[in-house]
């Protein structure tokens, strides 16, 4: 029985059919190619959302949602959900960081979901993809924290409220902040790699081991679970990013 090929580093991928990605010389660039593919999908979705919004009626009538489920309604629900997430943590600063968090969530979710399709690799099962995203968040919240609070005010976040515990708290906070990019990267990498590895095992091995109905029914259930994991991991990465920004910009931390 022919096995189903899912996201595996040494497996066939559709992008490996491209002339410049064939053979051993092109194999190291396949993760980068899938990252570029995820970016192109996000850009297409952004363009599609723009076209859907442009079809809305002008004036007050454009504020009324469509009576049926439409692309415009879906994009508006997504925008409202991410904006409410930012407002719940950042308050009046939500609109400033909304583009960053919305784009980050969409890119991670699309990247995660690529691994659910046979012949594609999820870019987020590579630390080369996750570490730069985590470093961007690390740089953003530290720079914003310094700008909002000044060097002395931001340094007080590390020193803590008790002066005599300041040196200890400073060491703990420095280690904690340095571990944040690592935790964001490794958490996303481990969950996506493990999720798609389990899915691949069930799709390739289970159908040959038991009755066809159970053999193909159970993998479908795991496919739904995989989609749920893709969403949860994108949400967790985005939520932690918002929380880090909120902690850095607060004045009473």
**Which range, 2-11, 82-91, 149-158, 165-174, has the best average confidence (pLDDT)?**
82-91
Q: Is residue 22 part of a domain?
A: yes
Q: CA end-to-end span of the chain, whole Å?
A: 60
**Residue 93 belongs to some domain of the structure:** yes
pLDDT score recorded for residue 10: 55
Residue 2's CB: how many other CB atoms inside 10 A?
5
Statement: residue 180 has pLDDT above 90: yes
Reported as a pLDDT band with limits 50, 70 and 90, residue 4 is: very low
Global pTM value:
0.85
Q: What is the pLDDT of residue 80?
A: 92
Closest CA to 45 of 124, 140, 128, 113: 113
Task: Tell whether 3 is covered by a domain.
Answer: no
pLDDT for 19-34, tens place per residue?
888 777 877 888 889 9
**pLDDT at residue 7 tops 60:** no
Q: What is the pLDDT of residue 210?
A: 57
Give the pair of three-digit tokens for residue 90: 């950042």
Query: What pLDDT score was predicted for residue 151?
Result: 82
Confidence of residue 2 (pLDDT cuts 50, 70, 90): very low
Mean pLDDT of the chain: 82
Residue 7 lies in a domain: no
Reported as a single tens digit per residue, the pLDDT across 115-148 is 888 888 899 988 999 999 999 999 999 999 989 8
Structural domain including 233 reads: 14-249
Residue 237: CB atoms within 10 Å: 26
Confidence at residue 143, expressed as pLDDT on a 0 to 100 scale: 93
Asked, for residue 49, whether it belongs to a domain, the answer is yes
Chain-centroid distance, C-alpha 14: 23
pLDDT band at 9 (very low <50, low <70, confident <90, very high): very low
Question: Is residue 8 domain-resident?
Answer: no
76-111: pLDDT as tens digits: 899 999 999 999 999 889 999 999 999 999 999 999
2 within some domain: no
Closest CA to 20 of 4, 2, 36, 41: 36
Q: What is the pLDDT of residue 21?
A: 80
State residue 84's pLDDT score.
94
pLDDT above 90 covers a percentage of the chain that reads 38
Question: Does residue 1 fall inside a structural domain?
Answer: no
Q: Would you place residue 5 in the very low, low, confident or very high pLDDT band (cuts 50, 70, 90)?
A: very low
Report the C-alpha gap between 108 and 129 in whole angstroms. 10
Q: Domain tally for the chain?
A: 1
């Amino acid at each position: 029985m022919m096995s189903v090929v899912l996201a595996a580093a040494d497996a066939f991928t559709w992008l490996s059919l491209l002339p410049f990605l064939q053979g051993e010389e092109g194999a190291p660039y396949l993760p980068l190619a899938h990252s570029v593919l995820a970016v192109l999908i996000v850009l297409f979705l952004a363009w599609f959302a723009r076209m859907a919004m442009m079809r809305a009626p002008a004036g007050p009538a454009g504020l009324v949602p469509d009576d049926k489920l439409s692309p415009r309604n879906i994009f508006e629900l997504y925008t409202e959900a991410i904006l409410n997430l930012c407002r719940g943590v950042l308050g009046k600063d939500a609109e400033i960081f909304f583009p960053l968090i919305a784009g980050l969530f969409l890119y991670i979710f699309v990247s995660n979901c690529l691994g659910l399709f046979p012949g594609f690799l999820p870019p987020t099962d590579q630390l080369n993809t996750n570490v730069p995203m985590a470093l961007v968040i690390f740089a953003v919240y530290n720079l914003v924290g310094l700008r909002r609070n000044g060097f002395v005010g931001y340094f007080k976040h590390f020193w803590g409220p008790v002066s005599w515990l300041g040196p200890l708290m400073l060491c703990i906070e420095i280690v904690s902040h340095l571990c944040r990019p690592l935790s964001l990267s490794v958490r996303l990498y481990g969950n996506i790699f493990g999720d798609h590895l389990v899915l691949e095992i069930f799709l390739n091995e289970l159908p040959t081991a038991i009755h066809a109905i159970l053999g193909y029914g159970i993998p479908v259930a795991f496919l739904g679970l995989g989609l749920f994991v893709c969403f949860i991991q994108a949400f967790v990465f985005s939520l932690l990013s918002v929380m880090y920004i909120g902690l850095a910009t607060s004045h009473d931390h």
